[in-house]
């Protein structure tokens, strides 16, 4: 009797194994969602209990950078941030209103694999970009998409 029961119980076990293999992939994407969600919440409410726990639980650092575009060039050629940091960029376009610039980060100079692509802003205006830096240290690439020949530089991610 017992040898017949065993194969039946193996199938649910296999499903369990497959399920646990898929789970980590789902969790990593939900971490990014919660990161962006918490940043939008912080401006609305000042909950003292959540503010204390968020600092210790995630341990991720925040970096604020101001970048100015003028005469079709950035005022920075190198930007350095810690791995996994929440990066907030105040982006100022000081060119004439007809010139649109943005700030985008890619895996490398090929610009085929985007990490963050900011919206274009016209001259005389500014905007705030926010994204999470890559978790893997290394030298990445930043550029203005319409003018990447003259507006580009190294986006360096350092180990935490
Ligand atoms: Cu540009």
Work out the percent of the chain whose per-residue pLDDT is above 90.
62
Higher pLDDT, 14 or 62: 62
Same domain, 75 and 133: yes
Report the separation in Å between the CA atom of 159 and the middle of ligand 1, taken as the mean of its atom positions: 30
Q: What would the two tokens of residue 151 be?
A: 């507006």
Phi, psi for 95 (deg, rounded to 5): -80, 180
Same domain, 52 and 68: no
Report the separation in Å between the CA atom of 133 and the middle of ligand 1, taken as the mean of its atom positions: 22
**What is the model's pTM?**
0.65
Report the separation in Å between the CA atom of 104 and the middle of ligand 1, taken as the mean of its atom positions: 10
Report the separation in Å between the CA atom of 72 and the middle of ligand 1, taken as the mean of its atom positions: 6
Residue 43's domain comprises 2-56
Indicate the number of domains in the chain: 2
Report the separation in Å between the CA atom of 74 and the middle of ligand 1, taken as the mean of its atom positions: 9
Dist. CA 123–CA 8, nearest whole Å:
68
Q: Is the sign of the CA dihedral 112, 117, 120, 124 positive or negative?
A: negative
Same domain, 133 and 69: yes
Same domain, 21 and 93: no
Same domain, 85 and 111: yes
Same domain, 151 and 104: yes
């Amino acid at each position: 009797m017992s040898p017949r029961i065993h194969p039946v119980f193996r199938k649910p076990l296999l499903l369990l194994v497959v399920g646990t293999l898929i789970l980590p992939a789902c969790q990593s994407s939900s971490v990014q969602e919660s990161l962006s969600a918490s940043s939008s919440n912080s401006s609305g409410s000042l909950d003292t209990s959540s503010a204390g726990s968020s600092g210790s639980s995630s341990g991720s650092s925040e970096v604020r950078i101001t970048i100015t575009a003028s005469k079709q060039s950035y005022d920075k050629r190198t930007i350095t941030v810690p791995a996994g940091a929440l990066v907030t960029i105040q982006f100022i376009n000081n060119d004439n209103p007809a010139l649109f610039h943005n700030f985008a980060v890619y895996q490398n100079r090929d610009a085929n694999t985007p990490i963050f692509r900011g919206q274009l802003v016209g001259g005389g205006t500014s905007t705030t970009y926010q994204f999470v830096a890559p978790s893997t240290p290394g030298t990445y690439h930043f550029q203005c998409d319409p003018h990447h020949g003259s507006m580009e530089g190294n986006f360096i991610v350092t180990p935490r």
